[in-house]
Structure 1
Amino acid sequence: MRKWKRVDTAEGPRFRSELESHEAALLHNMIDSVLEMLDGRQAQSPADELEAITGIRTGPSAPPADDTLARLLPDFYRADATGATEMPDGIGPADFNGALRSVHEPAIIDAKREAATRMRDTCPRDGGRLELTEADAQAWIAAVNDIRLALGTILGVGAGGPDLLPVDHPLAGHLDVYHWLTALQEYLVLGLMGKRA
């Protein structure tokens, strides 16, 4: 992939780049995997008879069992470094997280699905030139971030960044993809900020 080029037009900024066919296929594959995970999680939402009346959807109250999905949909509240919690009497962190999750997770999944779908729709399936609007670019940044989070979980990427892997390691190619996604996202962010990469 080439670096992003920002072009200011009368309709607003446009962000142009070009993808090789294998890069486009890889992006589509990863987007579809993230969408599949989110769809599976959404299918676990409890049936709510009041949804038709109130318009309020509820999601599962328990966190995802899958580590990758749990990274995409983390808990809302965590204890501080000492393990101390400041919760109302009788309410523990799990109860608090469960209540927040059941109320907010459906909207979070919707936003992630919308970004991923918009990225998939604006990414040429066979590669080639692409031009994004500012809204498209924002969706790409969000969707690439989710792809990186999912891939980073599989690779065991910590807060300090990804570890180096030996060339013959079975996940070495995945780490290369992680680095490529990081560069793709960084250059697009810089383009949105109007800075040169």
Structure 2
Amino acid sequence: MAGLFESAGGGGAAIALEELEVSILRSLEVGILQLIGPGPGGDGGDPLAALFAEGPSETPANPVLARLFPDAYGDPAEPADEESRAAAGEFRRYTELDLRARKREDALHVVRTLDRLSGGGVLKLDPADCQRWLGALNDLRLTLGVQLEVGEDDDELYELPDEDDRKPLVMAYLWLGALQETLLEAIVD
């Protein structure tokens, strides 16, 4: 896999993706969509249900979802006190549904963009597309990072033997990091 982003000028970017790369990215994004789930009112997107819906007030039990939707108050490394927990719950109640919707829309946008590349090819993104792709790539990296339990001193993850079951996830994690980095570089050129 060699596809990395290059500047397309004007804040846009382009990338040549092979069929396998398209398939991997699409599969990962579909996984994010399944993890996040449908919005209020289900897949039909009942506008009345969405208008009156309030989000959850508790941190998600799933560690990946907790990383994608972290508490807004308190130190993540410390146990939360009652005041921080209450403030985080109140903030979450009014913001998480919008954040979930944005993450869902970004992932769906990437899937639809990739669907235009049947069999691989050159993908050109305008500045708005680039922003959505950056968000979606970040969510993928956070997800894989939690699954791999990536920490600050995890050099051993980068030297795994081929037989290790985590090796494909580490390779995807590193590739997504390169995509994210080159996309950022492309849009600032």
Relative to the length of structure 2, the TM-score reads 0.83
**RMSD of Structure 2 on Structure 1 (CA):** 2.7
Q: Is the 8 A contact 2:29 2:140 kept in 1?
A: yes
Instruction: Tell me by how many angstroms 1:79 deviates.
Output: 3.5
Match of 2:27 in 1: 29
Relative to the length of structure 1, the TM-score reads 0.80
Q: Is the 8 A contact 2:145 2:173 kept in 1?
A: yes
1:1-197 alignment, distance < 5 Å:
1-8=2-9, 12-39=10-37, 42=39, 52=48, 55-79=51-75, 92-123=83-114, 124-160=117-153, 163-164=157-158, 165-194=160-189
Alpha-carbon distance in structure 1 between the residues aligned to 2:26 and 2:78: 42
CA pair 125-78 structure 1, distance change in 2 beyond 3 A: farther
Alpha-carbon distance in structure 2 between the residues aligned to 1:166 and 1:118: 35
CA pair 190-98 structure 1, distance change in 2 beyond 3 A: same
Alpha-carbon distance in structure 2 between the residues aligned to 1:80 and 1:141: 24
Q: Is the 8 A contact 2:41 2:49 kept in 1?
A: no
Identity among equivalent positions (%) equals 31
- 1:65 aligned counterpart, secondary structure: coil
User: Could you say which structure has the higher helix fraction?
Assistant: 2
Q: Which has the higher contact order (CA 8 A, sep 6+)?
A: 2
Instruction: Tell me by how many angstroms 1:57 deviates.
Output: 3.1
Q: Is the 8 A contact 1:122 1:136 kept in 2?
A: no
Please tell me whether Structure 1 or Structure 2 has the larger radius of gyration of its CA atoms.
Answer: 1
- 1:19 aligned counterpart, secondary structure: strand
Size of the aligned set, in residue pairs, is 180
- 1:92 aligned counterpart, secondary structure: helix
Unaligned runs of 5+ in 1: 46-50, 86-90
Alpha-carbon distance in structure 1 between the residues aligned to 2:107 and 2:50: 28
Q: Is the 8 A contact 2:106 2:135 kept in 1?
A: yes
